[in-house]
Structures are given as structure tokens and as C-alpha cells.
Amino acid sequence: MTKPYTGAKPYNGGCACGAIRYEIAAEPVFSNHCQCRHCQQRSGTGHGSYLTFADRKAVSLSGTATEWEIAGDSGNLKRHGFCPNCGAPVYLTFAAMPDLFTIHAASLDDPSRFTPQVVTYAARSPAWDPLDPALTKFETMPTG
């Protein structure tokens, strides 16, 4: 369910060098830590942290990202956008759900706005990367 946007404060952020910027006039519909192997490899840590928005029309994106694709466990393609200058990951899109737009929590100008709801792919959690035990953990990606 999409939360209504109050217009109070858009989500702003971008890459480390500022070449890619976004503003999102919506509220996230999903916020998670993901411990899948792809997120571990891409982040260089034990997980990635994300906010997902339901409507790409609410996203204003400037700059040109380099993108690459990989199939997730579902077989659906995920496209990752990162800065070709500084290499910072900024966003993800999904071929099977083209309206969704996901940003990396660390790309926010104010990362304190990220509040994770769940942990996904907890089955792949490395022991050295414990996450908040109060969060609901899913062994894979929840459906529905």
C-alpha cells in the first residue's frame, strides 16, 4: 500500500561526488536491509540498505548513471545505477516491476530518514554482520 505523500519533505540524495542527484516526492513503501550475496558483494559489507518507492513518476533524477543488470533469485532482472565518476551505488530498478524505484539508504542527504522495516535474505547473513534483532527477518524475499 502506498503511503500518501504529505509534501512536507522530499527524499533527496545522490552519489558521493554529486554528479548524480535525485529528489523523490513520495513516501517509501518498503525499507529493508538485504543480506543476499549480490548486496554483500556490491556493498562490500554484509548487507545493503534500501528504500523502495512505488511510483517512478515521483522521482526526479539528474546526472547520468552507469547501469548494469543481474538476475535475482526470482530470475527477474535488477538494474543497478551507480556513478561512473565516484563509483557510488545510487539506485535499483526492476524489469518485472517497472514503476518501482529503489535507492540506497546511504545515498540519502539525510540518512537518518531511513528506518528499516525488515531484513531480507537473512538465510545468507554472515555471522560478523549482526542486524537489529527486533527486526522481522525473512529467509528470502517476502511475497505479497
Residue 142: the pLDDT is: 77
CB 75 within 8 A of CB 41: no
Residue 143 pLDDT more than 80? no
Cα 66 from Cα 40, distance rounded (Å): 20
pLDDT confidence bin for 139, thresholds 50/70/90? confident
Cα 54 from Cα 40, distance rounded (Å): 24
- Residues 88-116 have pLDDT tens digits of 999 999 999 999 999 999 999 999 999 99
Residue 3: the pLDDT is: 53
- Residues 11-63 have pLDDT tens digits of 999 999 999 999 999 999 999 999 999 889 888 899 999 999 999 999 999 99
Residue 4: the pLDDT is: 55
* Domain spans of the chain, in order of start: 11-128
At the top level of CATH, the class of 11-128 is mainly beta
